[in-house]
Amino acid sequence: MQTLIENVNVINPFEEIKTHQKVLIENNLIKEISSSINARDNVRVIDGEDNYLLSGFIDCHTHIFAKGFHKEENMANPLGIHFYNAVPHSKQTINAGVTSIRDCGSADLSFKLAQQRKLFIAPKVYLSITPLVMTGGHFDLLLPSGFDMEIMYPGFPKGRCDGIEEVLKKTREVKRAGADFIKVMCSGGVLTTNTSPEFAQFNKKELKTIVCEACANDMKVSAHCHSLKGMNNCIDAGFSSIEHGTFIDKKTACKMVKKNVSLVPTLLVHQFLYNSGFPAWDNYAAEKTAKLKEIVKVHKENIAVAYEQGVNILMGTDSGVIPHGHNLEELVHLTDIGMSENEAIASGTIKAAEFLGQDNLGLVKENYIADLILVNSNPLEDVSILSDNDNILKVFQDGIEVKN
């Protein structure tokens, strides 16, 4: 099967725009890019109308099943709703120009298989299944009432674990459940009561045990971490990425560069939550808002320091904590910390693909996977145009048009 996209301006980060191009797609790959490709018989031809073609984006931190992580809704809803939510969330994500996601907790192997089997339109996914969390830590959803609000069903392991033997077994359980990488809650968080973002969680021996087991299976380990001490513990243990990184400082940033540890700052999520607030029925809304007030104040300043020190920054949004479909608003926040438009786009395309070990994804280039978006303006002049989903005219996944 072949598709020819005519009359487009091809954008790749840090390259000159190639104007008035034709892009030939065969099966799921870009076969040829040229200004003079002649259409063959039985080739589907799409007029790009002088718009801009670039790689589909990779959101490196999402929760595709989640809808705010409201424990009360988990208690009230039938379990099936947890899965059905992924269908509209996936469509919203695709419509935002995101063709692949790295799910940092809640999605299971069924979602990955459903996407691969084209049961519904959805981004490709790299799974962590469920985060490892210590007793009383961030995402330990056992309430003071004694009720455990963690969603459980066959094939989906509980994340709670303590001590070297338990974290070793839990890492193996998560891998068995279909994880592509391991996610660990290494500091307190905003959404879990009775935890505080500035405090580290899990000890060094536990963290090293997790990394050692993951590495034995060629898997990366990611840390939810706001805490400065927690970040240093994770860097020393051999983690591949830090998610959020709220209290990062210059010394820690330099250490991350030296150890080749990436940062997914998710700048959008805290600002969005702080501006939008929490439902009136949320009994813990005041506690969450107080934490956010502190985080929003310092997060952007500290991530700017990390950027200045040369930390590899990847685009991630924490969608699921906030509504899905706002993904590329994160690019505006990245330019606010000093990134150029080229750097911001690269953080969600070629840099993200490299981090995921995908050497033929993230660019509009021959022999690369045809995950592409067509937009009506040049994002290298103003990346904020990508934050409006109406500006994203078409989305292609494996060469198939999934948004028109």
Smallest Cα–Cα separation from 45: which of 37, 55, 53?
A: 37
Q: Where in the chain are the domains?
A: 2-56+362-403, 57-355
* Secondary structure element (H or E) that encloses residue 272, with its range: helix 267-276
Smallest Cα–Cα separation from 105: which of 42, 181, 37?
A: 181
DSSP string, 160-220: B--HHHHHHHHHHHHHHTT-SSEEEE-B--SSSTT--TTSB-S-HHHHHHHHHHHHHTT--
CA distances from 91 to 95, 297, 323, 324 (A): 6, 33, 12, 9
Show pLDDT as tens, one digit a residue, over the chain (404 residues). Answer: 799 999 999 999 999 999 999 999 999 999 999 999 877 778 999 999 999 999 999 999 999 999 988 777 778 899 999 999 999 999 999 999 999 999 999 999 999 999 999 999 999 999 999 999 999 999 998 888 888 888 889 999 999 999 999 999 999 999 999 999 999 999 998 777 778 889 999 999 999 999 999 999 999 999 999 999 999 999 999 999 999 999 999 999 999 999 999 999 999 998 888 777 766 556 667 777 777 877 888 999 999 999 999 999 999 999 999 999 999 999 999 999 999 999 999 999 999 999 999 999 999 999 999 999 999 999 999 999 999 999 999 999 999 999 98
Number of Cβ atoms within 10 Å of the Cβ of 129: 25
Tokens 């200045």 -> residue: 308
Fold classification of 57-355 (topology level): TIM Barrel (3.20.20)
- The residues, any chain, with a CB within 8 Å of residue 326's CB and separated by 6 or more, are 96, 268, 272, 317, 319, 387
180 burial via Cβ count (<10 Å: 0-12, 13-18, 19+): middle
Angle at 330 between CA 327 and CA 334, to 5 degrees: 160
- The residues, any chain, with a CB within 8 Å of residue 156's CB and separated by 6 or more, are 108, 129, 130, 177
Per-residue model confidence (pLDDT) at position 282: 67
- What tokens appear for 286 in the block? 């005041």
Per-residue model confidence (pLDDT) at position 25: 97
The Cα 98–Cα 176 span in angstroms is 27
Same fold, 2-56+362-403 and 57-355: no
Smallest Cα–Cα separation from 266: which of 199, 208, 197?
A: 197
Is the CB of residue 383 less than 8 Å from the CB of residue 332?
yes
Is the CB of residue 210 less than 8 Å from the CB of residue 238?
no
The Cα 370–Cα 89 span in angstroms is 22
Per-residue model confidence (pLDDT) at position 279: 61
CATH superfamily membership of 2-56+362-403: Urease, subunit C, domain 1 (2.30.40.10)
Smallest Cα–Cα separation from 306: which of 271, 341, 256?
A: 256
Angle at 289 between CA 160 and CA 104, to 5 degrees: 35
* Secondary structure element (H or E) that encloses residue 345, with its range: helix 341-347
Per-residue model confidence (pLDDT) at position 4: 96
The Cα 174–Cα 166 span in angstroms is 12
Is the CB of residue 364 less than 8 Å from the CB of residue 371?
no
The Cα 297–Cα 154 span in angstroms is 42
pTM of the predicted structure, to 2 decimals: 0.96
